[in-house]
């Protein structure tokens, strides 16, 4: 996906997040974040949007203004102004990304073709997952477009999960989307590493093509399903497993879910 596609997704999902928050109310519990209610979700995401926009707007070359989660959740306006504050921050981030120079130079923390590609992709998926959180508190979660969800799986597996590497012994988890034909192979042990092994050309910052895994052979566990459901499952936002088909040892998938807890540190 290109940066303008990520920015469009960010714009749409932020709008849906705000609508779900307004519908559910600030006291609604967030199933995917058990310690949060809707107000904490809005404070967290609203802060992240402003934090990200700072790099894009000012071109900071080093990490700045990163507060603890407790500090973030104590900051921001009161309940009466909170939803408007979130919407303003979201709109500001979208404007910053849309007006940014493609040659922007600034700090980033995952591999990507450019800083602009990184921030557009990361904020699109940050907002998408939290949109699902807000909708789950209000009712049903709107499915994600297949190509966008596959891109999100790629970012999570190849970029986030693989940052620390893996030490033996490791077992092999194959993730396969039934609607986009993408496949990733994750080595899960003490740490995780993953790569794309089949399907599309990869997302911004993801590697395309490579060795293709043939079904379940040589793999300890395979999880197959639509890109949207796998995206939610791998982010631990699909507690009932949806219609995902799991072959082989399901304990390996549970091990993935136990290890991969992306948090604001």
Bond before 45 cis per omega within 30 degrees: no
Q: Tokens 């591999």 belong to which residue?
A: 111
Q: Residue 207's pLDDT is what?
A: 35
Nearest CA to 232 among 100, 121, 144, 107?
A: 144
CATH number of 3-138: 1.20.120.450
Residue 223 near residue 210 (C-beta atoms within 8 A) = no
Q: Residue 209's pLDDT is what?
A: 39
Domain 146-259 part of CATH 3.30.1050.10: yes
Q: Residue 73's pLDDT is what?
A: 78
Mean pLDDT by 10 residues, the chain (265 residues): 98 98 97 94 96 96 83 87 98 98 96 97 98 95 98 95 73 96 92 87 41 62 98 93 95 83 55
Among positive and negative, which fits the CA dihedral 44, 54, 110, 94? positive
Question: Maximum distance among all alpha carbons in the chain?
Answer: 56
Among positive and negative, which fits the CA dihedral 67, 11, 109, 189? positive
Domain boundaries along the sequence of the chain: 3-138, 146-259
């Amino acid at each position: 996906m290109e940066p303008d596609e990520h920015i469009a997704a960010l714009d749409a999902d932020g709008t849906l997040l705000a609508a779900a928050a307004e519908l559910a109310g600030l006291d609604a519990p967030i199933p995917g974040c058990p310690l949060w209610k809707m107000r904490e979700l809005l404070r967290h995401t609203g802060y992240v949007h402003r934090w990200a926009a700072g790099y894009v707007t000012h071109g900071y070359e080093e990490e700045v203004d990163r507060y603890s989660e407790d500090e973030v959740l104590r900051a921001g306006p009161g309940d009466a102004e909170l939803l408007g504050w979130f919407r303003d921050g979201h709109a500001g981030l979208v404007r910053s990304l849309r007006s940014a120079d493609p040659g922007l130079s600034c700090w980033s923390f995952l591999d990507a073709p450019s800083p602009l590609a990184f921030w557009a992709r990361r904020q699109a998926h940050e907002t998408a997952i939290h949109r699902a959180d807000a909708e789950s508190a209000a009712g049903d979660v709107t499915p994600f477009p297949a190509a966008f969800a596959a891109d999100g799986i790629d970012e999570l597996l190849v970029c986030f999960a693989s940052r620390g590497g893996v030490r033996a012994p490791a077992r092999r988890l194959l993730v396969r989307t039934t609607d986009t034909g993408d496949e990733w192979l994750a080595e899960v042990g003490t740490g995780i590493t993953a790569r794309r092994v089949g399907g599309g050309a990869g997302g911004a910052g993801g590697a395309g093509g490579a060795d293709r895994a043939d079904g379940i052979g040589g793999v300890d566990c395979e999880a197959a399903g639509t890109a949207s459901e796998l995206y939610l499952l791998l982010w631990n936002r699909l507690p009932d497993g949806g219609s995902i088909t799991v072959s082989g040892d399901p304990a390996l998938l549970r091990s993935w879910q136990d290890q991969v807890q992306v948090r604001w540190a």
